[in-house]
Structure 1
């Protein structure tokens, strides 16, 4: 009888040991359980940037500020400890579908800060879990309203929209402010990623061809513009050369005529004012007449000679008569 009792007690002891082992092997805190809270030792020192929620007989009593705090024994209990520092919450990877039916895998980081310790403690069971879930659903909603190109291009706008939606729900109801939300990675499907690479390659090839054609076009324009300017400058130079040559010739003719006129004027003045000037001119005309008449035989084979060539005096008289006739024909 005693042995049977011992045998029946052994399985019970083993089952208790197994339950104890399983209980010790499990985590001490699950996701919704609070962290280990400070005990009421009557005198407590609250750390900086920390808010302790105190309940008195199960009802909210006050929030302990950093520094010295006095608690009533057995009546007061520290039920929540809230850190007032900025904290980062990692948003796990999730799938979202864009408006053009492209499935994306995204993850992000949410930066939050408690602004009201009372609401963070009593407004929601676990504000970190609630904000994480709200960020995921909001991100899916925002991604669903955008195309793939806009999701990749307007990440900053997407972050701002998610941050705004989270603050509308969390700040007033949960006492938590979302400072910023950042999408960390966006992973499109493999086939979409390959298509995007091909698109980028085609776009770069297109830009290279456009730039090359623009370069050739600009080069031809520059060459033609250079040739045009060269022709214009050459014609301008030729024009200026002709103008300068004509001006030079005109000035030369003018100077020659002025010099000739001045010479004739001075000769005429000298003839009139010098005694015996007309006789000297008559003699010079006669000499030139004879000289030129003598050259005729040298320059041509046939010539007409006067009948009285042997009479030199008559020849000179003819030259003088020519000079006198010219003088007589001059207007007074």
Structure 2
């Protein structure tokens, strides 16, 4: 079954209008109450009607934007400009707030499925694009849906970069790929009044068979490194043994004393039986006798010195 690329579906905020204007509502209620008060004081119903009309005019004409919002005002279909942040006035039934733009940084998830890299490896790539609107007027007037356009551009650019990169680069050099994606997307969206802050690749998923092959390759590399290390250690041991052999060749007595020490170390545990050739035992006896003679001669010298 053919798997087509997954297009992102950003959570659109274009339908979000202006926040509730509590100040306009309070002024409208105040105007109506003033009209009611004047009607009770002067006994004329006209003040209530005038107060209601003024309150409705205030409620319809006094608008408010948050610090991160900009409102596009149209007057009889013609652009009057952007309004906000804060309070601003419009002419009821003549001016129209066409759209409210959020200038905060937004995120768009981008997913590509079964995209071939340059070395023909199918991968699934997940990325996140951080962007913001720096020119609301151009973003609204030049594009029908700037959020959807940014999403589509991010998806196509991600597929282009993945197709032109090797698998090893995607796995090992993500920072450079992120910078390249950001630059390419920003070149396309800058004319729309949109700035791309950053692009981050979250995950690169490989096929199961390729993951198994890479795991076996990594295991083989570790085994090869272990064998090389073992061979190097054995070579160093051989060099040291050759040097020790030359030393023992020059001094047979030293070799025999070494043999005695080895036998002593092996016989530390009681109940151990050691079998050795007769020639080796004779050599150890000679070495023992020689060591005893040397010790006796040293003792005789000390006694002579004392007298």
Aligned-CA RMSD value: 2.7
Aligned to 2:52: none
Q: What is the DSSP-based 3-state SS (H/G/I as helix, E as strand, rest coil) of the residue aligned with 2:139?
A: helix
Query: Structure 1-normalised TM-score?
Result: 0.55
Name segments (4+ residues, structure 1) moved above 3 Å: 30-34, 36-40, 218-228
Say whether the 8 Å CA contact 1:92–1:107 is kept in structure 2.
Answer: yes
The match for 1:208 among 226, 229, 233 is: 226
Aligned to 1:181: 199
Aligned to 1:108: 127
The match for 1:132 among 151, 164, 174 is: 151
Query: Structure 2-normalised TM-score?
Result: 0.59
The match for 1:75 among 94, 99, 121 is: 94
Say whether the 8 Å CA contact 1:108–1:185 is kept in structure 2.
Answer: yes
The match for 2:170 among 151, 158, 182 is: 151
Structure 2 stretches of 5 or more lacking a match? 1-9, 21-58, 252-307
C-alpha displacement of 1:223: 5.5
Aligned to 1:35: 15
- Structure index of larger Rg: 1
Structure 1 Cα separation of the partners of residues 126 and 234 of structure 2 = 47
Say whether the 8 Å CA contact 1:105–1:188 is kept in structure 2.
Answer: yes
Aligned to 2:107: 88
Q: What is the DSSP-based 3-state SS (H/G/I as helix, E as strand, rest coil) of the residue aligned with 2:119?
A: coil
C-alpha displacement of 1:216: 2.6
Of structures 1 and 2, the one scoring higher in RCO (CA 8 A, sep 6+) is 2
* Number of aligned residue pairs: 201
Structure 1 stretches of 5 or more lacking a match? 1-29, 235-332
**Alignment CA distance shift 1:102-1:127 (3 Å):** same
Structure 2 Cα separation of the partners of residues 64 and 223 of structure 1 = 89
- Superposed counterparts of 1:189-200, under 5 Å: 189-200=207-218
Say whether the 8 Å CA contact 1:32–1:125 is kept in structure 2.
Answer: no
